[in-house]
Structure 1
Amino acid sequence: MVNLAKLDFVALDIAGKNYLTWVVDVKIRLEAWNLAETIKEENNASSQDRAKAMIFIRRHLDEGLKSKYQTVEDPLALWKALRNRYNHQKTVILPRAHYEWTHLRIQDFKSVA
């Protein structure tokens, strides 16, 4: 079933292609709503705050991911599960992006400072 509600940003793709940007977007939004504590270790967040965070995170997941993690009720547990599944991209993508940025060439210029 298609999520008909307007999303604040693009939902996390099941392949994890947009994981790095999704993580930043979720952290910023949870911080803005004073819910960032819910995805930190040893948090003292209320059950209402955890429920709000869980609703927000699940709303921004691909339907396949929602069904895979439908039994997870704690936002910290879901956050860790998604991190374990997709966080390897930092070690694969980030060094390549840094290399490409440092060796960027535009038209006739040898480099960009």
Structure 2
Amino acid sequence: MANLTKLDFITLDITGNNYLTWVVDVKIHLEARNLKETIKKENNAFSQDRANSMIFIRRHLDEGLKSEYLTVEDPLTLLNALGNKYNHQKTVILLMARYEWTHLKIQDFKSVAEYNSAMFRISS
């Protein structure tokens, strides 16, 4: 059965291609819900808050990831496990951005606006 609830942001893909944006979205939304304490080391969060965080995080996971981390009951443990699995993308993205930056030439674009757009995309 399809998930009928409206998501706050896109779910984490099983390939992890959107991990960096997903983890930032999770942290921002947990902060907005006063649940950020549940994903900090040595937290004193109530078990009800940890459960709410887990519900929120699992709701934004791909079905394959939900079943892979089915036994994890702590939101900090889950985020750390996902980080260990997908956080390597920072180094991959940085190398790709450096390559694109060194090969960026204004002659390759039809207008300055297109050049600026490409420049801002690389720097972000």
Q: TM-score, length-normalised on structure 1?
A: 0.87
Unaligned runs of 5+ in 1: none
Cross-structure match for 2:58: 58
Aligned residue for 1:41? 41
Question: Whose Rg is larger?
Answer: 2
CA distance in 2, matches of 1:7, 1:49: 19
Q: Cα RMSD (Å) of the superposition?
A: 2.0
- Higher helix fraction: Structure 1 or Structure 2? 2
What are the ranges of 5 or more consecutive residues in structure 2 without an aligned counterpart?
Answer: 120-124
Which amino acid in the other structure matches residue 25 of structure 2? D
Supply the distance in 2 between the matched residues of 1:104 and 1:6 (Cα, whole angstroms).
Answer: 42
Equivalences for 1:1-113 in 2 at 5 Å? 1-100=1-100, 103=104, 105=106, 106-107=109-110, 109=112, 112=116
Q: Shift of residue 37 of structure 1?
A: 1.2
Structure 2 CA distance for aligned equivalents of residues 98 and 53 of structure 1: 36
- Percent same amino acid among aligned pairs? 71
Change (3 A) 1:90 1:108: same
User: Structure 2: which amino acid aligns with 1:41?
Assistant: K
Give me the TM-score of the superposition, normalised by structure 2: 0.80
Higher relative contact order (CA 8 A, sep 6+): 1
Query: How many pairs are equivalent?
Result: 112
Q: Which moved more, 1:29-38 or 1:54-63?
A: 29-38
Question: C-alpha distance in 1, partners of 2:56/2:105?
Answer: 37
